[in-house]
Structure formats: C-alpha cells, structure tokens
C-alpha cells in the first residue's frame, strides 16, 4: 500500500514537473517568435516541411471524408426528402468540425511526429548542444521557426481539407446520386455563416495547430537522447496530441455553439 502511494506520488510529481517544464519551454519559444519576423526565411523553410509536405495526406483524406459524408448524408436526408440540403450538411460538418479535427489528427501524425523525431535526433546527436556552445540559442533558431510554421500551416491545411471534402461530397452527391447542383451550392452559401461557422472553424484549427506543434516540439526537446527515447517521444506526441485535440474540440465546441 505504502509503495502504491509512493509510486503515485512520484508519478504526480513527475507529471507536474514535466508540465511546468513544458510551459517554461513554451514561454521561451514565444519570447523568440517576434525576432523571427526579421528572419522570416527560417519560417518559410519550415512551412514547407511542416505544411506543404503534409498536403498530400490532407488532400487525399479530405476527398475521401467528403465523399463518405456525401454518401452517408444523402442516405439520411433522402428519407425526409431533404437531399438538396446535402450541401449544407457537408459544409457545416466539415467547416465546423471535421475539417479542423481530422486535419489536426493527420497533422499530428504526419508533421508532429516528424518534428519530434527531428528535434529528438538533433538533441541526441548533440546538434542542439553544439548550437548553444556556438552562442546560438537553439530554441530561437530551431524551435521557434517550427512553432510558427505549425501555427500558420494548420488553419491553411484545415481549410484545404474542408474545401476538398466539399468537392468530394459534390462529386458523389451530384455526379453519383443526382442531387441538383444549384440547390447544393446555393443552400450551402445561404446557410453557412462566415463568423459562426467558418471563423469558429479557423479558431479551432489555430488552437489545434498551437497545441500539436507545442507538444511535438516539447516532446522532441525533452526526449531521452537515445533511439529508444526518441521513439517513445514520437509515440507520446501522437497520443497526447490526439487527446488534446479531441478534448479541446469539446471545450471549444461547447464555448462556440453551446448556447445555440
């Protein structure tokens, strides 16, 4: 019993200590962000590896998610003779919910894990220590540009995901199931609000981008500098990011749409 309490205490202390380190790490990153506007090329490079290289998985997944939504939505709506509302159903589902959430989960798997592995390996091969000894702060030079790149890329990726998803749903709805294209687009335009739907979706994806990139970079920076340690850190990035995305999605949805 005493051992159980002791190990519980140790676990608690360890968790809070890591949480504290994670927040200090974030403060350090944020302090480095303003300086990046003077060297924006560093951020652009990272937008390429974090964002552009994630495009393929986002495009393909978005298309299929949209197509499935089209099929499933049509089958439900047709029972009520409301199949022409397919455009609204698809756009609201994607813009409010699936776009930000699924693209953030994919982003965590594709870009988050890559960031953790990259930073973890840089640590284990002493590249970060080497920079410190060259009087270059690795958090400002290496971590902060990646953080800003993640923050900028995530909403763009979510927007691409939603757009491609809507196209996928249109292809299935209009091309395969015969929904009237005029009704599909006009109802979507009429019922999708810029502030309530699109902007809230963008806010969600910015929050997810912030959290996923923070987790990925912290796990990499905090990884035990061995191959096993980097492997574990990469796994933790994906798992913790998924929890964070889904948990935060509930909180944000409750705040944004809870009183409707």
Q: Which is nearer to other proteins, 28 or 191 (CB)?
A: 28
Residue 76 and residue 217 in contact, taking contact as beta carbons nearer than 8 Å: no
Nearer to other proteins, 127 or 253 (CB): 127
Binding positions for other proteins, 6-65, rule CB under 8 A: none
Q: Where are the alpha helices (DSSP H) in the chain?
A: 2-36, 40-46, 55-77, 86-92, 99-107, 113-124, 127-133, 138, 144-170, 181-191, 200-222, 227-257
The three-class DSSP label of residue 103 is: helix
Shortest Å, Cβ 129 to other proteins = 6
CB of 130 to other proteins, least distance (A): 3
143 sits in which H/E element = none
Provide, rounded to whole angstroms, the least separation between the CB of residue 139 and other proteins. Answer: 11
Shortest reach from residue 80's CB to other proteins, in Å: 56
Question: x/- site string to other proteins, residues 138 to 167, per CB under 8 A?
Answer: ---x--------------------------
DSSP string computed for 4-59:
HHHHHHHHHHHHHHHHHHHHHHHHHHHHHHHHHTTSHHHHHHHIIIIIGGGHHHHH
Site residues for other proteins, 102-141, by CB under 8 A, read: 122, 125-127, 129-137, 141
Binding to other proteins (CB under 8 A) within 195-234 occurs at none
* Residue in this structure with the two tokens 């340690």, named with its chain if needed: 229
| Least Cβ distance, residue 137 to other proteins (angstroms) | 7
Binding footprint of other proteins, residue count (CB under 8 A): 14
Residue 126 or 181: the one with the smaller Cβ distance to other proteins is 126
List residues binding other proteins (CB under 8 A): 122, 125-127, 129-137, 141
């Amino acid at each position: 019993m005493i051992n159980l309490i002791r190990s519980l205490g140790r676990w608690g202390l360890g968790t809070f200590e890591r949480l504290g380190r994670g927040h200090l790490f974030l403060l350090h990153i944020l302090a480095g962000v303003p300086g990046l506007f003077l060297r924006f090329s560093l951020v652009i490079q990272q937008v390429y590896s974090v964002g552009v290289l994630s495009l393929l998985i986002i495009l393909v997944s978005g298309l299929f998610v949209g197509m499935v939504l089209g099929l499933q939505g049509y089958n439900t709506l047709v029972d009520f003779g409301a199949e022409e509302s397919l455009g609204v159903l698809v756009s609201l589902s994607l813009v409010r919910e699936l776009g930000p959430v699924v693209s953030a989960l994919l982003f965590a798997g594709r870009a988050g894990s890559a960031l953790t592995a990259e930073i973890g390996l840089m640590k284990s091969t002493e590249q970060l220590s080497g920079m410190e000894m060259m009087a270059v702060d690795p958090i400002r030079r290496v971590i902060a540009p990646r953080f800003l790149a993640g923050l900028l890329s995530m909403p763009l990726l979510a927007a691409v995901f939603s757009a491609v998803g809507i196209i996928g749903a249109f292809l299935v709805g209009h091309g395969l199931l015969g929904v009237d294209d005029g009704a599909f687009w006009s109802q979507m335009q009429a019922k999708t609000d810029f502030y309530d739907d699109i902007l809230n979706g963008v806010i969600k994806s910015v929050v997810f981008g912030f959290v996923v990139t923070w987790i990925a970079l912290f796990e990499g920076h905090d990884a035990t500098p061995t191959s096993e340690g980097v492997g574990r850190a990469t796994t933790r990035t994906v798992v913790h990011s998924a929890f964070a995305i889904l948990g935060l999605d509930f909180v944000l949805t409750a705040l944004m749409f809870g009183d409707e």
